[in-house]
Amino acid sequence: DSGVTQTPKHLITATGQRVTLRCSPRSGDLSVYWYQQSLDQGLQFLIQYYNGEERAKGNILERFSAQQFPDLHSELNLSSLELGDSALYFCASSVGGTTNTGELFFGEGSRLTVL
Amino acid sequence: AQKITQTQPGMFVQEKEAVTLDCTYDTSDPSYGLFWYKQPSSGEMIFLIYQGSYDQQNATEGRYSLNFQKARKSANLVISASQLGDSAMYFCAMREPGGQNFVFGPGTRLSVLP
């Protein structure tokens, strides 16, 4: 158990809909990352938050948005869903900080299927 | 520019044999961390091993060892005595302290044959 909790684990929805994925980082971790992994693909970095503020943005679509709340949990919002958005979405956390080179701890992922 | 390169999309190894998964990286930062993660078919990401750029010794964790060649910017994962349960995708990753994210390579799919 990595200590990172993601909900829901599985989600099936229709095109055009909106979903919210939730992530609770490990206790004490300030940094949260979101990754998208399409079928048999690598991990695509979406966005990173550190202590409530956006730190870095990757190839995140405009239809997607995220935030990190004061209690450090994070949500990834996906709207106007398309078939191609079907993927495994990972949240990961770490202590964070500019000098940290430590590992990321991953949640089990949220598997989104868009029909 | 690609920061992490894994040139082997797929690898096969016989059970009980050793296997090396290649990883090269690109950074101009003197301080960085290198990681390997395993992703079995069930989907979870499992941290295997870490090597810091200033570490003098190659990292080892049980059957996993990291062959760190700093001058060549290479961080190959060696799995000794392969087991059927080692069949999975393996991702090499790098973290730079001043960097904005944690960069993953494209992965290598390892299949262990009985």
Q: Which residues of A touch B97 (CB under 8 A)?
A: 97-101
Neighbour tally for B84: CB within 10 Å? 10
pLDDT value at B99 more than 60? no
Q: What is the pLDDT of residue A99?
A: 56
Task: For residues B49 and B53, give the distance between their C-alpha atoms in angstroms, rounded to a whole number.
Answer: 13
Share of residues in chain A with pLDDT > 90 (%):
73
pLDDT of A71-99, one tens digit each?
999 999 999 999 999 999 999 998 766 55
Could you tell me which of A59, A53, A46, A31 has the C-alpha nearest to residue A110? A46
Among the residue ranges A37-46, B14-23, B35-44, B58-67, the one predicted with the least confidence is A37-46
Q: Which residues of B touch A4 (CB under 8 A)?
A: none
3-state SS, residue A36: strand
Among the residue ranges A96-100, B34-38, B90-94, the one predicted with the least confidence is A96-100
Q: Which residues of B touch A111 (CB under 8 A)?
A: 43
Q: Which residues of A touch B53 (CB under 8 A)?
A: 101
Task: For residues B63 and A35, give the distance between their C-alpha atoms in angstroms, rounded to a whole number.
Answer: 28
Contact B101, B35 (CB under 8 A): no
In sequence order, which residues have a C-beta less than 8 Å from that of residue B85 and are 6 or more positions away? B40, B112
Q: What is the pLDDT of residue B50?
A: 92
Is A111–B43 a contact, with Cβ atoms under 8 angstroms apart? Answer: yes
Task: For residues A49 and A52, give the distance between their C-alpha atoms in angstroms, rounded to a whole number.
Answer: 6
Among the residue ranges A42-46, A55-59, B97-101, the one predicted with the least confidence is B97-101
Is A102–B33 a contact, with Cβ atoms under 8 angstroms apart? Answer: yes
Could you give the C-alpha distances from A44 to A73, A113, B13, B95, B101, in angstroms and in order? 21, 17, 28, 15, 11
Please indicate if any CB of chain B lies within 8 Å of the CB of A55.
yes
Task: For residues A31 and A99, give the distance between their C-alpha atoms in angstroms, rounded to a whole number.
Answer: 13
- Which of B28 and B23 is assigned the larger pLDDT? B23
pLDDT band at B113 (very low <50, low <70, confident <90, very high): very high
Please indicate if any CB of chain B lies within 8 Å of the CB of A89.
no
Q: What is the pLDDT of residue B45?
A: 93
pLDDT of A44-54, one tens digit each?
999 999 999 99
Q: What are phi and psi of B42, to 5 degrees?
A: -70, -15
Q: What is the pLDDT of residue B2?
A: 59
Mutate to test the interface with A, among B45, B66, B91 (most CBs of A within 10 A): B45
